[in-house]
Chains A and B, each alone.
Chain A
Amino acid sequence: MNEEVSWTQEHEQHVQAYARSTREPLDTAAAFARFERSRASAPTQATDARTRYGLLVAIALPLAAAALLWLASGSDAALAETETVEVLSPDLMNATEDAFEAVAKEPTARSRRVPAAVAPPNIPQPSVVEPEKPLESATEQSLPMPASKNATRPTKRRRPKQTAPAPSPVPASALAEELAAVASMRSALRRGAYEAVLERVAEHQRRFASPSLAAERDFLRLEALCGLDDEVALEAAKRAFATTHASHHLTARARSVCKKTPPTLQTDAR
Chain B
Amino acid sequence: MGVLGFRRRQDRGKRAEPQDPGASRFEAMFHEHYGFVHRCARRYGLNPTQADDAAQEVFMIAHRRFGEFDERRPRPFLRGVAWRVAANLRRHAKVRDRHAAPIPVESVEAGHGSDARCHANEQAALVSACLASMPALRSEVFELLVVEGMPAKEVADALELSTHAVYRHVRAAKATLAQAIETQRLPGEVVA
Interface residues in chain A, defined as those with a beta carbon under 8 Å from any beta carbon in chain B = 1-8, 10-11, 13-15, 17-24, 26, 28-29, 31-32, 34-35, 38-39, 42, 45, 48
A18 touches B178 (CB 8 A): no
What 0/1 readout, one digit per residue, does chain B (156-183) give for beta carbons within 8 Å of chain A? 0000000000001001101111100100
Q: Tell me whether B64 is interfacial, beta carbon within 8 Å.
A: yes
Complex partner residue of B27 from A23, A32, A45, CB under 8 angstroms: A32
B30 touches A11 (CB 8 A): no
CA distance in complex: A5, B126 (Å): 18
Q: Tell me whether B75 is interfacial, beta carbon within 8 Å.
A: no
CA distance in complex: A14, B128 (Å): 10
CA distance in complex: A23, B135 (Å): 23
Q: Tell me whether B124 is interfacial, beta carbon within 8 Å.
A: yes
* Chain A residues closer than 8 Å to B38, beta-carbon distance: 24, 26
User: Known contacts A17-B127, A18-B124, A32-B31; is A3 also within 8 Å of B59 by CB?
Assistant: no
Q: Tell me whether B50 is interfacial, beta carbon within 8 Å.
A: no
What 0/1 readout, one digit per residue, does chain B (25-46) give for beta carbons within 8 Å of chain A? 0010011001100110010000
Complex partner residue of A13 from B52, B59, B123, B176, CB under 8 angstroms: B123
User: Known contacts A5-B178, A11-B181, A45-B64; is A23 also within 8 Å of B123 by CB?
Assistant: no
* Chain A residues closer than 8 Å to B124, beta-carbon distance: 14, 17-18, 20-21
B178 touches A1 (CB 8 A): no
Residue of chain B at shortest CB distance from A45: B64
B20 CB, min distance to chain A CBs, angstroms: 12
A1 touches B172 (CB 8 A): yes
Interface residues on chain B, size class? 35 or more
User: Known contacts A17-B120, A21-B121; is A34 also within 8 Å of B56 by CB?
Assistant: yes
B104 CB, min distance to chain A CBs, angstroms: 10
Residue of chain B at shortest CB distance from A21: B124
Q: Tell me whether B63 is interfacial, beta carbon within 8 Å.
A: yes
A31 touches B42 (CB 8 A): no
Main secondary structure of the interface of B (DSSP, over half): helix
What 0/1 readout, one digit per residue, does chain B (133-161) give for beta carbons within 8 Å of chain A? 00000000000001100000000000000
* Chain A residues closer than 8 Å to B1, beta-carbon distance: none
B30 touches A20 (CB 8 A): no
Complex partner residue of B59 from A14, A35, A45, CB under 8 angstroms: A35
CA distance in complex: A26, B147 (Å): 18
* Chain B residues closer than 8 Å to A21, beta-carbon distance: 103, 105, 120-121, 124, 128
Residue of chain A at shortest CB distance from B128: A18
CA distance in complex: A5, B121 (Å): 24
Sample of 24 A–B contacts (CB below 8 Å): A1-B172, A2-B175, A3-B168, A3-B171, A7-B178, A8-B178, A10-B181, A11-B177, A15-B147, A17-B123, A18-B127, A18-B147, A19-B147, A21-B121, A22-B147, A23-B35, A24-B38, A24-B42, A26-B34, A28-B34, A28-B35, A38-B60, A39-B63, A45-B63
Residue of chain B at shortest CB distance from A42: B60
A14 touches B127 (CB 8 A): yes
